[in-house]
Amino acid sequence: MQAEIPTDAELLEGLKNGEPGTFETLFNRHWQELYKKAYRRLRDQTEAEDMIQDIFTSIWDRRYSLEINNSLEGYLHNSLKYKIIKWIERKNLFEEASSHLLHKMEEIENTIFDTMAASDVKKTLDDAVQSFPENMRKIFMLRAENYSISEIALALGLAEQTVKNNTTEALRRLKVSISAQHPDLNKSFLAALAALMVS
């Protein structure tokens, strides 16, 4: 008779009780999916591996006191999500974020300007983002990376309304800068910008 496969909850309980093999089973069950998600975001194998190792090391270090109220899978993915946010914040990747945002806008309106214009618009975006206050710049970077208002608020220790206000103001400043530097740009480009920042 085939042995029943233990659930995550049972493995966590076994981990607390010092049962051999439970940690290895948990790790082997979840590390690959976490690594794939980390690598998709970071595009850096070493960074992704280190991030996953840190998450599981933290679980091991707190194995006797760790309390997970919902699913372990949800806990692991949330842990990874906030590590990525902190990584983005630490790296200060405002230029990558603006490039990412510009790429998404090009996907929506890929006929409104040629390659030369795209380069000019990117420089306008970069200059505008560089001039943002620190929190606004971080919020812009994370919104451009598709993090939600609530996720950013929690990660940066800000009220959700503060994040919303900064998002609105960042959008206003970007639209002003783009309109001033590129008055002939199709209005649908600005509409695409607004949709991407508030969605």
Q: Is the domain of 125 the same as that of 178?
A: yes
pTM: predicted TM-score of the whole model, two decimal places: 0.51
Q: Which residues of 142-169 are buried (b: 16+ CB within 10 A; e: fewer)?
A: bbbbebebebbbbbbebeeebbbebbee
**pLDDT (tens digit per residue) in 170-188:** 888 888 887 787 676 655 5
97: nearest Cα among 184, 12, 197, 180: 197
Q: Is the domain of 103 the same as that of 144?
A: yes
71: nearest Cα among 17, 7, 15: 7
Q: Is the domain of 78 the same as that of 108?
A: no
Contact in structure between 91 and 31 (CB atoms under 8 Å) = no
pLDDT for 109 equals: 46
Judge whether 3 lies within some domain: no
Residue 191 backbone dihedrals phi, psi, to 5 degrees: -65, -40
CATH number at residue 129: 1.10.10.10
Residues (pLDDT < 70) of the chain are 1-3, 89-119, 182, 184-199
Q: Give the CA angle between residues 62, 63, 65 to the nearest 5°.
A: 70
Q: Is the domain of 56 the same as that of 31?
A: yes
Angle between helix axes 115-130 and 160-181 (nearest 10 degrees) is 130
Judge whether 1 lies within some domain: no
Q: DSSP letter at 186?
A: -
Chain mean position to CA 33: 16
Domain count, the chain: 2
Where in the sequence is the domain holding 62, given as residue range(s)? 8-91
Number of H helices, E strands in the chain: 10, 0
User: What is the Cα–Cα distance from 123 to 104, expressed in whole angstroms?
Assistant: 16
Q: Is the domain of 190 the same as that of 100?
A: yes
CATH number at residue 22: 1.10.1740.10
Contact in structure between 144 and 97 (CB atoms under 8 Å) = yes
pLDDT for 118 equals: 59
Q: Is the domain of 85 the same as that of 125?
A: no
Judge whether 162 lies within some domain: yes
Q: Is the domain of 98 the same as that of 188?
A: yes
